[in-house]
Structure 1
């Protein structure tokens, strides 16, 4: 094997390593975004359900018959509120730890 073949093999290996690192970085960013998005969505839904309290569903059966069903959603809102807050705190701690230089 001469020098040109060796250099070509080294370049190919370097390209593979760069591609793997790019894929790892992409997956890391996607997972980081997911780790922030899920708690934030849970927090927003929890706030809205807690503030709503109850949800009313009206069924009109015709002939003047109306069926009203009330769903109490504030307990689920409190649970989602707690999950969202704890998730945001966990994501913030993980981000602070993982982004510091070692």
Structure 2
């Protein structure tokens, strides 16, 4: 995701950005602090909790985490391996995520 952001000239990108939420500190995989746009990468293992076997619980916790981060004013785009291969639709979604956000967060 970081490489795509650089190749597409989205500007300097940060990794592992801490965000204070109502459920504690959570980290965004890749993003831009000033416009509060982030990318969350869903790898092959993300929704598999083999030790607990609690697939629904993993999804529920991830949804709560995502919502808590967005409540702080962040916009998150989710990405997976197909997006990481340079999917044009993902790049368009990411570009749309930036629209109006620089002005809204400046100050």
TM-score > 0.5 by shorter chain: no
Q: Which of the pair is proportionally richer in helix?
A: 1
TM-score by length of 1: 0.30
Q: Which of the pair is proportionally richer in strand?
A: 2
Task: Mark the structure with the bigger radius of gyration.
Answer: 1
